[in-house]
């Protein structure tokens, strides 16, 4: 099997978007599909906001704010500052150009287009070629059961700076949701499935919670490989390490490998964690240690290259 025939990447926010960019530099647009978490989406200020879709879209378009990973580089914040002056919610920092994306998405959704159609339209207008697919066109929303009560995702992640202690995570609406046709087709035709370096609980799990997606991956002939979101016991960004502790997982690539054990053929971890390759291989999951911290474009492309080369040389 030529694993480069149709690579399907599952991602959430910033970390996954970096690997998507690296892969997009290597793989032609008809051989790389990116499936994105939509459980962080929410209605805010009358707009339908899809943070992870926007992060992937802006990253591939070279528009993303390099410091934060989300929003648009050098964006102004005049509109949200005016909202604040009127006493409206300004905790979710929507930039002025970012606002345009969300205004267009909201208008097109209101005209009856699906989230998949809207995303494809916006990507086309940004001259993006690689398909960026919402996991579902039905609403799935991450809800967190915390010591501050039940919190919607953005309230937990942004407004409360992911400080509340999490006891459980729910994906409201997942039972009624189904994968889009494009997502099902991509997974059915996949030659390689990759879990990006995204938060297992908040970015990958919501995608796997859409009925049918986990089964499509489990029954696929394609190898399934994860890039560890944890390096040296720390998350590169966001609450992954804190959540793993709160939810009782070992905060390491070994903890991640155990968590996905039933789906994974292999995992790529950082050199800093190479001592964990042996216990991971003992689980029956192939393992390789590479430099997986992506600071600049060449890091992203190099990780994408070494991932594909490693799979070709070891997982076929």
Q: Which residue is nearest to ligand FO1 (CB)?
A: 13
| Structure tokens, 87 | 């006493």
70 touches ligand FO1 by CB under 6 A:
yes
Give every strand in the sheet of 286-290, ordered side by side.
132-134, 32-36, 7-11, 192-195, 224-227, 266-270, 286-290
Please choose, out of 91-99, 110-118, 171-179, 255-263, the segment that lies near ligand FO1 by the rule CB under 6 A: 91-99
185 touches ligand FO1 by CB under 6 A:
no
Q: Return all residues near 239 (Cβ < 8 A) that are at least 6 apart.
A: 157, 162, 199, 202
Please choose, out of 28-36, 152-160, 274-282, 292-300, the segment that lies near ligand FO1 by the rule CB under 6 A: 152-160
93 touches ligand FO1 by CB under 6 A:
yes
Q: Return all residues near 301 (Cβ < 8 A) that are at least 6 apart.
A: 22, 25, 26
Q: What string of DSSP letters covers 184-229? A: HHHHHT-SEEEE-SS-IIIIIHHHHTSTTHHHHHHT-SS-EEEE-S
Q: Shortest approach of ligand FO1 to residue 124 CB, angstroms?
A: 19
169 touches ligand FO1 by CB under 6 A:
no
290 touches ligand FO1 by CB under 6 A:
no
Residue 262 burial (C-beta neighbours within 10 Å; 0-12, 13-18, 19+): exposed
Tell me the HSE value of 254 on the side-chain side, using a 13 A CA sphere. Answer: 15
239 touches ligand FO1 by CB under 6 A:
no
22 touches ligand FO1 by CB under 6 A:
no
> What is d(CA 149, CA 29) in angstroms, rounded to the nearest whole number?
43
54 touches ligand FO1 by CB under 6 A:
yes
174 touches ligand FO1 by CB under 6 A:
no
DSSP H or E run through 251: none
136 touches ligand FO1 by CB under 6 A:
no
Q: Which of 73, 83, 104, 158 binds ligand FO1 (CB under 6 A)?
A: 158
Q: Shortest approach of ligand FO1 to residue 300 CB, angstroms?
A: 17
> Which is closer to ligand FO1, CB of 94 or CB of 294?
94
Number of residues in contact with ligand FO1 under rule CB under 6 A:
16
Cα-to-chain-centroid distance, residue 251:
19
> Which is closer to ligand FO1, CB of 201 or CB of 260?
201
Q: Which of 48, 156, 157, 171 binds ligand FO1 (CB under 6 A)?
A: 157
Give residue 70's region: left, alpha or beta (phi > 0; psi -120 to 50): beta
Task: Using CB under 6 A, list all residues that contact ligand FO1.
Answer: 12-13, 40, 51-52, 54-55, 70-71, 92-94, 98, 154, 157-158
């Amino acid at each position: 099997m030529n694993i480069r025939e149709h690579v399907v990447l599952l991602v959430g926010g910033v970390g996954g978007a970096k690997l998507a960019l690296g892969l997009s530099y290597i793989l032609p647009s008809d051989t790389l599909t990116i499936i994105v978490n939509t459980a962080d989406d929410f209605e805010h200020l009358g707009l339908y906001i899809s943070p992870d879709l926007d992060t992937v879209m802006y990253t591939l378009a070279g528009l993303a704010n390099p410091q934060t990973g989300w929003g648009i580089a050098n964006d102004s914040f005049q509109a949200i500052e005016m909202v604040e002056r009127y006493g409206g919610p300004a905790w979710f920092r929507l930039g002025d150009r970012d606002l345009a994306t969300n205004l267009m998405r909201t208008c097109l959704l209101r005209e009856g287009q699906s989230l998949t159609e809207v995303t494809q339209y916006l990507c086309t207008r940004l001259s993006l070629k690689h398909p960026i697919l919402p996991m579902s066109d039905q609403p799935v929303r991450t809800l967190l059961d915390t010591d501050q009560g039940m919190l919607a995702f953005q309230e937990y992640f942004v407004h409360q700076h992911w400080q509340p202690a999490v006891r459980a995570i729910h994906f409201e609406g997942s039972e009624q949701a189904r994968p889009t046709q494009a997502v099902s087709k991509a997974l059915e035709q996949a030659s390689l499935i990759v879990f990006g370096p995204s938060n297992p609980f908040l970015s990958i799990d919501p995608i796997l919670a859409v009925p049918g997606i986990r089964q499509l991956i489990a029954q696929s002939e394609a190898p399934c490989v994860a890039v560890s979101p944890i390096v040296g016991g720390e998350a590169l960004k966001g609450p992954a390490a804190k959540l793993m502790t709160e939810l009782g997982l070992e905060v390491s690539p070994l903890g991640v490998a155990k968590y996905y054990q039933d789906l994974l053929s292999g995992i790529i971890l950082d050199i800093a964690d190479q001592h964990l390759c042996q216990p991971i291989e003992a689980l029956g999951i192939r393992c390789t240690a590479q430099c997986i911290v992506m600071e600049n474009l060449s890091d992203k492309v190099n990780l994408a290259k070494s991932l594909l080369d490693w799979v070709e040389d070891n997982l076929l």
